[in-house]
Amino acid sequence: MKTIAIIAHDGKKAEMVQFLNENRDALQSKDIQLIATGTTGAKTEIAGFNVEKLLSGPVGGDAQIAAKVAEGLVHMVIFFRDPMDKHPHEPDIFMLMRICDVHNIPLATNPATAKLLIQGI
């Protein structure tokens, strides 16, 4: 089973849900488990996906996902970042991106890259 972590900043949550819906067949495979930060996970559930929800990003959800990456429990991260807004948990975001690089975990920060990663499953 492959675990995919999904995260979206507030300004990108609708785009994330749209992406998930467009890739529903691949993502609802029995071989895929979704985990998400809190609010992204809640919106994902409303869209009809099964997802394990962690803390909200600003209160530790990004760090929780980074820890799972470091433990080898996450195989891909899709993180729709809002580059036009400031985020108080920016250090956690950079730490997550660094951990993905250290552990050679695919990380998509926009829909075009995420689509390529999903097609590669």
Q: Judging by beta carbons within 10 Å of its beta carbon (0-12, 13-18, 19+), is residue 109 exposed, middle or buried?
A: middle
Question: Other CB atoms closer than 10 Å to residue 55's CB: what's the count?
Answer: 16
10 belongs to the catalytic site: no
Active-site pick, 25, 31, 62, 92? 62
For the annotated catalytic residues, the residue numbers are 62
